[in-house]
Amino acid sequence: MPEIIRMGIDLNASTSRAVARFWSVRSRQDKLQGARSGVRDAGGRAAVTGGRQLDGFVQLIQDLLRETGLGDDQIHLRRRTTSLPGFFRPTKEWDIVVVADGKLLATVEFKSQVGPSFGNNYHNRTEEAIGNAHDFWTAYREGAFKNSPRPWLGYLMLLEDCPGSSEPVGVNEPHFEVFPEFKNASYQARYRSLCVKLVRERLYDSACLLLSSASEGFRGGYREVDEEICMARFAASLSARIGAYSRFNS
């Protein structure tokens, strides 16, 4: 895909490193959990409950934000500083929160899914993504973020590229037909549809879907499925929004 903006960081290389770190950390946590307890969580839950698999992406976005002129004191990564008010609940902890001059500028959510339980997890991820965004924008409308201009909201999903996510999946239609894009669609296709719709329905300013197999992922291998939800566009959207604020307030 053509370069959208010029960035000081090598976006492809940085994304590849983040992918490799994801698989490496996941594997290490899975082994450590089993070694300490003598019991391994079922279905890969050991790696999921360990956390920190997506820290490489956190680092990537932090580097990107630094390029726009933000200082580290404005880029919040620790859980105790990434909590924001909600409307339907008291608070929600995000993965990255950007606050400058008392104004909320950007918020980012990172998610991943690795098999084998693609079905239930897909539904949970979908409900989370939609619900979190609705809560966020309602809180914004009601003045939870004080005099902040409209903040930027982003969603990034890393999905395992494997037969379980790439094979067609049937749907239950006891009363009414589902929309055509869901008929015999794989979970990869469903996530693509989700991310595109999240942006087109203006629930998120940008979304990114990355696919990576366990075998290629340890070497940083990944692929993208749609220009509209690729990493370059995601990074460009965030940089443009924060860069405009930095220039206006410099």
For residue 247, the model assigns a pLDDT of 76
Cα 17 to Cα 14, 106, 108: the distances in Å are 5, 23, 19
pLDDT tens track for 145-162:
999 999 999 999 999 999
How many whole angstroms separate alpha carbon 58 and alpha carbon 90? 25
Residue for token pair 């589902």 = 178
For residue 250, the model assigns a pLDDT of 64
More confident residue, 43 or 28: 28
Q: What is the SS3 assignment for 73-85?
A: HHEECCHHHCEEE
* Residue % of the chain over a pLDDT of 90: 79
Of 15-19, 40-44, 133-137, 218-222, the one with minimum mean pLDDT is 40-44
- The DSSP line for the chain is ---SS--SS-HHHHHHHHHHHHHHHHHHHHHHHHHHHS-PPGGGHHHHHH--TTHHHHHHHHHHHHHTT--GGGEE-SGGGSEEE-SSSSEEE-SEEEEETTEEEEEEEEEEE-SS-HHHHHHHHHHHHHHHHHHHHHHHHTTTTTT----EEEEEEEEE-SHHHHS-B----SSSPPPGGGTTB-HHHHHHHHHHHHHHTTSSSEEEEEEE-HHHHTTT--EES-GGGSHHHHHHHHHHHHHHHHHHT-
191 neighbors 169 (Cβ within 8 angstroms): no
Residue type, 26: R
How many whole angstroms separate alpha carbon 65 and alpha carbon 54? 17
Residue for token pair 């309602």 = 138
pLDDT band, very low/low/confident/very high, at 185 (cuts 50, 70, 90): very high
Range 92-110 average pLDDT: 97
Range 200-216 average pLDDT: 97
Range 91-107 average pLDDT: 96
240 token code pair:
């443009």
Burial of 88 (0-12, 13-18, 19+ CB in 10 A): exposed
pLDDT band, very low/low/confident/very high, at 3 (cuts 50, 70, 90): very low
Highest mean pLDDT among 41-45, 80-84, 118-122, 133-137: 133-137
How many whole angstroms separate alpha carbon 35 and alpha carbon 231? 36
pLDDT band, very low/low/confident/very high, at 184 (cuts 50, 70, 90): very high
pLDDT at 44 over 70: no
Range 100-129 average pLDDT: 94
